[in-house]
Amino acid sequence: MIISKKILKISFVIIIIPLLVGCGTSETPVPTPTYTSPPPTSTPIPPTPTLQPFVVTLDGNECTLSGPKEVPPGEYPFFIINQTELEIPFQFARYLLDEKTYQDVLDLQSEPGEFFFPMPSWTSEVLYYYSAADEVNIFILDTIGEHFFYADYDWKGISFLWLCPPFQVVDAPSK
């Protein structure tokens, strides 16, 4: 029995230890990629034009609009300055259809701020969203043509509507 234990130990040394040594980690070099052409370089991206915001001012007598008179399609911030004592919850922009003009809208009202009236079917509402980060309304001006901003207030029979001067959304604004 002693011989068989010695043979077993020798067999172990001869067979198992070389297997364990062979299972060790060997570092195989990772091939480096070769390029047939030079690696791509970064292409400069033209700067995004800074969009000039629109500023709407309501003073209780009229609505004024400062900002560009013509803009390309895009999303634009509209800052509202309410100098009235009223909390004006509704502020919108619309564009005109059917070859109508801003004067056609003005003709529906005898003076600025006078009564609220439903917007005619030849106007269409501009979509917008509120940007909490910027604390401003962002209007999506994606339709070419004449646009205008308006604000209304209607509470317990008291109605006001302020129409702001128009602006154009054009393919390529004039300089």
Q: Where are the domains of the chain?
A: 54-169
Cα–Cα distances in Å, from 65 out to 29, 31, 68, 136, 148? 68, 64, 9, 15, 9
Taking the CA of residue 93 as centre, how many other CA atoms within 13 Å lie in the half-sphere pointing to its CB?
30
What is the CB neighbour count within 10 angstroms for residue 73? Answer: 13
- pLDDT category at 114 given cuts 50, 70, 90 is confident
- pLDDT category at 121 given cuts 50, 70, 90 is very high
Q: Give the pair of three-digit tokens for residue 158.
A: 């008291």
Characterize 11-31 residue by residue with b for buried, 16 or more Cβ atoms within 10 angstroms of its Cβ, and e for exposed. Answer: eeeeeeeeeeeeeeeeeeeee
pLDDT at position 171 over 80:
yes
Asked if residues 92 and 149 have their Cβ atoms less than 8 Å apart, the reply is yes
The whole-number pLDDT of residue 115 equals: 79
What is the reported pTM? 0.66
The whole-number pLDDT of residue 45 equals: 45
